[in-house]
A and B are shown apart, each in its own frame.
Chain A
Amino acid sequence: MSSSTQTASRDLAAREPARPRARPSRRPAGGGTGRWAAWAFLLPLLAYLIAFYAYPLYRNLDLSLRDYTVRSFVQGDAPFIGLANYREVVDNPTFLPALTHTVVFTAASLVLQFGIGMALAVFFHQHFRLSATLRALFLVPWLLPLIVSASTWSWMLNSEAGVVNTFLGVLGVDPVNWLTSPDWSLASVIIANVWIGIPFNLVLLYSGLQGIPPQIYEAAALDGTTGWQRFWRLTFPLLRPVSAITLLLGLVYTLKVFDIIWIMTKGGPADSSTTLATWSYQLGFGSLLPQFGPGAAVGNLLIVAALAFGLVYIRVQRRQGGTA
């Protein structure tokens, strides 16, 4: 594959010197207007990027560097205070728990989503009867609006009337205060988030599996490998690029998960399921008196974390590209 593209590009390079001769004949017709048209085409995209990406990011940064009160928000004269908001956020007693919860939430969600998604993908790759139907059913969590799935989970996990505790009762297990006990609330939101994340992992890994030529498995089978060996020696390494992008997208997505937690526990009780994302919202919009500055600061910390992992991914991908 790669050698053929290389020869193709070499061919192009060989033909390149011929180009300048063809160009001048076209130039007078297009000329400067062509460039204007190009700019005109670029303009909407630029305007879009500036209006919806650059400006909000700039505003968020600006918010986090100023001392906003409701009064200065309205008057627009909030004093610049440098990194004081960040210092305040880091010194806040909520910061360490929120950071720990974010790490635990993200790591546990990723490992479980990826593990279960991988198992299901391999399972459905067997192409048995009804596999397509069952696979479609597994996509349901992904299609539901988050508010629906999160509300359903919070009903199911309700201490008094929830179906989960009723079921545990049938099995003779004491009811668990899933959402109202500080020991369980984080686990509960992780369970819900894993359930929502499985389809995403399943779909990506399944499509990755379909990209592996079946001949490899045939050859391995001829060599007398066991199923486990085939998975660890063939499937897993061959899926590495797909796995990397699945995990990275999952990571960025999980870092910013907010709706599920907010709907199920509001980050409580006693901050026991607060992550950086819910804390940022709590600061900015959760009380009667908005604290825009610290809220924006927490949000920016999250963006930086996601960005750092994005760079790690590009790094890894480049190295993989080099060896492949």
Chain B
Amino acid sequence: MKSFGRRQRTLGVALAALVAAGGAVACSSGDSSGGAAGGTYAIWDPYPQFDDSSAWVKLLTKCGTDAGVTVTRTGYDTTDLTNKALLAAQQNNSPDVLIVDNPVVSTLAEAGVLTTTEETRLDTSAMEPNLLSAGQSGGKTYGVPIGANTLALYYNKAVLAAAGVDPASLTDWAALNAALAKVTAAGKKGITFSAIGTEEGSFQFLPWFWGSGAQLTKLDSPEGVAAVSLWTDWLKKGHAPNSVINNTQTTSWQEFASGDFAFAENGTWQVANAKKLGFEYGIIAIPGKDGGTAPAPTGGEFVTIPVQKQTDRYTASQKLVTCLTSSDNLLATDTTLSYIAPTATVQAKQVAENPELKVWVDAVGAARGRTGDDLGTKYPKVSEQMWKAVQAALSGSKTPQAALAEAQSAAAAATK
């Protein structure tokens, strides 16, 4: 009886000790990565598809060695990374280098999580200004682009030929509409895209929105209404399937891959998959309303240096970032990621290696940052109202005009 009681007690003490130890472990892990741990530098990236044997991780290790530090790298899912970075910052536990999706940069900067390139003496002079603008807010730059992607129109050569459409003639909306009518008349399907109720939907809508001359600061301008009406009419006339309302860019690509569609709006990252399509395809830039190339939004990541308590860590971090964004390394990285480089020199090298990329380099050249025009952290709020309006119009619950007017007043209230 007595020994049983003692066993109970030891068990209890052991459990209590466990709980305490658990707490201590939690604390100590917080301390170690926050403070200077010799020469260990943490890098977070949104490329979980790369493991330690990949060229990307080897490049990180090599850059670390060159800067005289050891690099520990963690790959996160891109949708996870924003919250992870915010939480880490809240606990003074930020990584030394953070590679993050470009529309998130202004949000993290607003939260005071990121250092400016001025503070950390990062050179951004070689970067294309339209790509760099996604990482700028209030006249300051918060990172260096590592690569860019954007949207264009993939087309099925056989379907266009059968309908008698010359892809070179598709330089404005009228020509595109005429082509879609011909394709549908020939018994094929017109165009597929993604109008899902998330950021992806806004990303896909922006080339048409900007291509009409509309501005994100005024959603319900006549130009904006024209862009929504273009999409709505496609659905009404059967030029685009009703499923676009729930399509992600991946499901939209699968529809195109079925071979029935003439066009698909999709991104640079599908270039590798396009080779597996099983039919001849081509790529044209998205036309603007009255001709010319419509500005598509830029995708791709920025390399940033989060704020640290010990500012002396920035020196090594700066070396790491400079190494990652040097011309040679950019070429290798952007080839692996199927991205277009952010500097003109490397873009020229990419086209020399693979002439197919020319159309993408042009598209990236015409592309625009979503958070540019000093929208910054207002962009997510505007974007949410915009994708809602597009969905409302496409599903027929509101007219384009009414949907955008409502979106504009909601966005104005949210960004006040």
Once the chains bind, are A272 and B380 in contact (CB under 8 Å)?
no
Q: Which of B142-150, B177-185, B241-249, B277-285 contacts A (4 or more CB under 8 A)?
A: B241-249
Residues 395-410 of B, flagged 1 when their CB comes within 8 A of A and 0 if not, give: 1111000010000001
Task: Give the distance to chain A from B31, nearest Cβ to Cβ, in Å.
Answer: 18
Question: Which residues of A144-163 are within 8 A (CB) of B?
Answer: 154, 158-161
Once the chains bind, are B384 and A287 in contact (CB under 8 Å)?
yes
For B8, list chain A residues within 8 Å (CB). Answer: 37, 40-41
**A269 interface hit (Cβ, 8 Å):** yes
Once the chains bind, are B12 and A41 in contact (CB under 8 Å)?
yes
Additional A-B contacts beyond A30-B5, A179-B245, A266-B196 (11; CB < 8 A): A40-B8, A41-B8, A43-B12, A47-B19, A93-B410, A180-B246, A266-B246, A268-B245, A270-B388, A286-B198, A288-B82
Task: Give the distance to chain A from B243, nearest Cβ to Cβ, in Å.
Answer: 5
Task: Give the distance to chain B from A202, nearest Cβ to Cβ, in Å.
Answer: 31
Task: Give the distance to chain A from B227, nearest Cβ to Cβ, in Å.
Answer: 17
**Known contacts A43-B12, A43-B15; is-contact A270 B392 (Cβ 8 Å):** yes
**B199 interface hit (Cβ, 8 Å):** yes
For A182, list chain B residues within 8 Å (CB). Answer: 392, 395-397
* Size of B's binding interface in residues, CB under 8 A: 51
Closest residue on chain A to residue B111 by CB atoms: A70
**A62 interface hit (Cβ, 8 Å):** no
Once the chains bind, are B380 and A287 in contact (CB under 8 Å)?
yes
**A166 interface hit (Cβ, 8 Å):** no
**A160 to B110 CA separation, bound complex (whole angstroms):** 43
**A76 to B111 CA separation, bound complex (whole angstroms):** 11
Closest residue on chain A to residue B9 by CB atoms: A37
Once the chains bind, are B396 and A179 in contact (CB under 8 Å)?
no
Once the chains bind, are B5 and A40 in contact (CB under 8 Å)?
no
**Known contacts A47-B19, A181-B395, A288-B104; is-contact A39 B12 (Cβ 8 Å):** yes
Q: Which of B33-41, B68-76, B83-91, B341-349 contacts A (4 or more CB under 8 A)?
A: B83-91
Q: List 24 A-B contacts (CB under 8 A).
A: A29-B1, A37-B5, A39-B12, A40-B13, A41-B11, A70-B107, A70-B377, A71-B110, A73-B111, A154-B246, A158-B246, A177-B242, A181-B242, A182-B392, A182-B397, A268-B245, A269-B394, A270-B403, A272-B397, A287-B383, A288-B104, A288-B199, A288-B383, A290-B86
Once the chains bind, are B397 and A180 in contact (CB under 8 Å)?
no
For A44, list chain B residues within 8 Å (CB). Answer: 15, 19
**A154 to B19 CA separation, bound complex (whole angstroms):** 44
Once the chains bind, are A289 and B380 in contact (CB under 8 Å)?
yes
**Known contacts A180-B243, A288-B199, A289-B381; is-contact A270 B395 (Cβ 8 Å):** yes
Residues 1-30 of B, flagged 1 when their CB comes within 8 A of A and 0 if not, give: 110011011011101100100000000000
Chain B interface residues toward A at CB < 8 A: 1-2, 5-6, 8-9, 11-13, 15-16, 19, 82-83, 86, 89-90, 103-104, 107-108, 110-113, 196-199, 241-243, 245-246, 255, 377, 379-381, 383-384, 388, 391-392, 394-398, 403, 410
Task: Give the distance to chain A from B347, nearest Cβ to Cβ, in Å.
Answer: 27
Once the chains bind, are A29 and B5 in contact (CB under 8 Å)?
yes
Main SS at interface, chain A = loop
Question: Which residues of A46-76 are within 8 A (CB) of B?
Answer: 47, 69-71, 73-76
**A177 to B396 CA separation, bound complex (whole angstroms):** 11
**A39 to B9 CA separation, bound complex (whole angstroms):** 9
**A123 interface hit (Cβ, 8 Å):** no
**A309 interface hit (Cβ, 8 Å):** no
Once the chains bind, are A270 and B397 in contact (CB under 8 Å)?
yes
**A68 to B302 CA separation, bound complex (whole angstroms):** 26
**A180 to B395 CA separation, bound complex (whole angstroms):** 6
Q: Which of B2, B255, B397 contacts A29 (CB 8 A)?
A: B2
Question: Which residues of A286-304 are within 8 A (CB) of B?
Answer: 286-290
Task: Give the distance to chain B from A156, nearest Cβ to Cβ, in Å.
Answer: 13
**Known contacts A43-B19, A73-B111, A268-B197; is-contact A161 B243 (Cβ 8 Å):** yes
Closest residue on chain B to residue A72 by CB atoms: B111
**A69 to B103 CA separation, bound complex (whole angstroms):** 17
**Known contacts A286-B198, A287-B383; is-contact A269 B397 (Cβ 8 Å):** yes
**A253 interface hit (Cβ, 8 Å):** no
**A142 interface hit (Cβ, 8 Å):** no
Task: Give the distance to chain A from B241, nearest Cβ to Cβ, in Å.
Answer: 5
Once the chains bind, are B11 and A40 in contact (CB under 8 Å)?
yes
**A289 to B396 CA separation, bound complex (whole angstroms):** 28
Closest residue on chain B to residue A159 by CB atoms: B242
**A16 to B90 CA separation, bound complex (whole angstroms):** 58
For B15, list chain A residues within 8 Å (CB). Answer: 40, 43-44
Once the chains bind, are B9 and A33 in contact (CB under 8 Å)?
yes
Question: Which residues of A239-276 are within 8 A (CB) of B?
Answer: 265-272
**A285 interface hit (Cβ, 8 Å):** yes
Closest residue on chain B to residue A180 by CB atoms: B245
For B111, list chain A residues within 8 Å (CB). Answer: 69-71, 73-74
Once the chains bind, are A288 and B380 in contact (CB under 8 Å)?
yes
Once the chains bind, are B199 and A272 in contact (CB under 8 Å)?
no
Once the chains bind, are A269 and B395 in contact (CB under 8 Å)?
yes
**A190 to B254 CA separation, bound complex (whole angstroms):** 27
Closest residue on chain B to residue A41 by CB atoms: B12
For B398, list chain A residues within 8 Å (CB). Answer: 270
Once the chains bind, are B388 and A272 in contact (CB under 8 Å)?
no
**A75 to B8 CA separation, bound complex (whole angstroms):** 44
Once the chains bind, are A40 and B394 in contact (CB under 8 Å)?
no
**Known contacts A40-B13, A70-B110, A270-B392; is-contact A33 B83 (Cβ 8 Å):** no
Closest residue on chain B to residue A271 by CB atoms: B388
Q: Which of B90, B380, B396 contacts A76 (CB 8 A)?
A: B90
Task: Give the distance to chain B from A247, nearest Cβ to Cβ, in Å.
Answer: 32
**A34 interface hit (Cβ, 8 Å):** yes
**A167 interface hit (Cβ, 8 Å):** no
**A231 interface hit (Cβ, 8 Å):** no
**A37 to B2 CA separation, bound complex (whole angstroms):** 12
Task: Give the distance to chain B from A37, nearest Cβ to Cβ, in Å.
Answer: 4
Closest residue on chain A to residue B388 by CB atoms: A270
**A179 to B394 CA separation, bound complex (whole angstroms):** 12
**A181 to B111 CA separation, bound complex (whole angstroms):** 38
For A288, list chain B residues within 8 Å (CB). Answer: 82, 103-104, 107, 199, 379-380, 383
**A270 to B403 CA separation, bound complex (whole angstroms):** 9
For B243, list chain A residues within 8 Å (CB). Answer: 158-161, 180
